[in-house]
Amino acid sequence: MGISENADSPLLCSREIKLMQYPKDDIQKEILKAAEKIFLENGFPKASMREIAQEAQVGLSNIYNYFKNKDDIFCTVVRPVISAFERMLHEHHGRYGADIMEMYSTEYLRYVIEEYMTLIQKHRKLLVLLFFHAQGSSLENFKENFTERSTSLVKEYFRDMKEKHPQMNINVTDFSIHLHTAWMFTMFEELIMHRVRTEDLEQIVTEYITFEVTGWRELMKI
């Protein structure tokens, strides 16, 4: 004789029990945690909502109570690293940008080096997703779009600095400014692809920042 699957059954679905026990925020965190794992394993195009639901141990239909679609989940997963890039851009060249003369101080360079290292160490997996697994998502062209915005913002920053420091040369091509951001992304990609050891990270980042600063100082005659 079979066992009836009713409300009193000891075989009540463990997944349903888990959903009843978890607060809403915790379920969302479980979905995001599961999605990160699936996206890292399969990439955005091959990852499925069903796989994410199974990994998170939630019902497939329940995911849509938290996220509109797979792209919404992906964007939410990588949001911390995108926010980090946005902060960097505005701190250095945007509305919160330091005076360009301060940017060549030892203290400022130390700050930038630590900022880059923290981003890599804290968000390595998210960088992998954003750089290598975003094809097919709305963030597929993130690097190109960010680089274009960065170029416009840096040009505006240079014009502001020229008013404060008339001796500056800001006759720098848009393409050179474009390369400045493109090289930053390339550095992050190479560090990830080559699995650079933590103990080597500081020297590499310091060399990169020193190379960049020396080049801009020469170009701008400051």
The pLDDT tens digits of the residues spanning 52-103 come to 999 999 999 999 999 999 999 999 999 999 999 999 888 876 445 678 888 7
Provide the pLDDT for residue 13.
Answer: 46
What is the per-residue DSSP string for the chain? Answer: -PPP-STT-TT--HHHHHHHHS-HHHHHHHHHHHHHHHHHHHHHHH--HHHHHHHHTS-HHHHTTT-SSHHHHHHHHHHHHHHHHHHHHHHHTSTTPPPTTGGGSHHHHHHHHHHHHHHHHHHHHHHHHHHHS-TTSTTTTHHHHHHHHHHHHHHHHHHHHHHH-TT------HHHHHHHHHHHHHHHHHHHHTT--HHHHHHHHHHHHHHHHHHHHHHHT-
Statement: residue 160 has pLDDT above 50: yes
Provide the pLDDT for residue 11.
Answer: 41
Statement: residue 183 has pLDDT above 80: yes
**Overall average pLDDT of the 140-146 stretch:** 96
**Which whole-number Å values give the CA distances from 41 to 27, 63, 133, 136, 181, in the listed order?**
21, 20, 9, 15, 28
Lookup: tokens for 119:
């981003």
**Overall average pLDDT of the 199-218 stretch:** 91
